Amino acid sequence: MIEPASFAITREAPPSFAALRRGVYAGEVYLLEPTPGSLALVERVRARLADVLGDDPRRAQHRMSNDELFARLSPLRRELYCDATYHDALRALLREQGGDPAALAFDPLRLRVVRSRGDVEVPAARAVYYPHRDTWYAHPQSLVAWWIPLDDLGEDETFAFFPERFEREVPNDSEAFDYDEWVRDGWELKIGWQRRDAGLTARYPGVLGEIAAGRAVGFSCQRGQHLAFSGAHFHATLPQATGRTRFSLDFRLVHLGDEAAGEGAPNVDGRSRGSALRDYVRTP
């Protein structure tokens, strides 16, 4: 497992996809170089953002209200998540990393949108900034989270990991999260911010009380890089005030053999109910 005091994000690719998974389960975070597949995907999504928001999408927040921005982006979010051609693009990305799509299940692409000053100007977005583990949302301990930026980003525009909490409990109310209840009325919440009032009305698992999270480890990145990390990592999106919206893509994947064998990161505090894995996409 990781040594919190010496933890650093690894920029050297592991020798195999199996080694990447083992490293992720042990708490390693990998920031890998762009690949032809990731760059092609980034350019495709950037073009769609320009279609939806006009020139310079990162500054669209200054040309329209948050409600209009939300309304324009919602169909694109659904497109990225549901369109089978994007599923094929993810399979191609995984092959580039040495993965076998037939052995994997994935929760498809999500478009993440972090406005400049969104933490103070958009109350409905407050849940974006909650420190959390993805596994609190009924994802397996074998979850590998995969994140790709659409632009070059400074360390103040990304997010931070708290390695001291990877194997140490964080007081939380994840037992209140029931996956079946979450998706009962449709996938608006599952796809991500498809309901305008979700940040004000939905029940998100969160930290209870004040905690000492320990050292925060952030990173800068280049367009099209791959960030791979465990869904059990305690992490948080950083508020930013650059004057530009941050756009990124992420998806989640599970190696079905690892999951069946009980391999994965340690579960130190997750008590959510149900399983999101049932709705992951599989390759026939």
pLDDT digits (tens, 9 = 90+) for 179-213: 999 888 766 666 654 454 444 446 789 999 999 99
In which band, very low, low, confident or very high, does the pLDDT at 252 lie, cut at 50, 70 and 90? very high
What's the pLDDT score for residue 200? 43
Write out the two tokens for 192: 């991500």
pLDDT at 2: 85
**What pLDDT digit, counting tens, does each position of 106-130 carry?**
999 999 999 999 999 998 888 889 9
Quick one: three-class SS letters along 212-257?
Answer: CCCCCECCCECCCCEEEEECCCCEEECCCCCCCCEEEEEEEEEEHH
Instruction: Using pLDDT thresholds of 50, 70 and 90, give the confidence band for residue 253.
Output: very high
Name the more confident of 175 and 204: 175
| Residue 114, strand partner residues | 246
Q: Which pLDDT does position 186 carry in this prediction?
A: 66
Q: Does domain 9-282 have CATH number 2.60.120?
A: yes
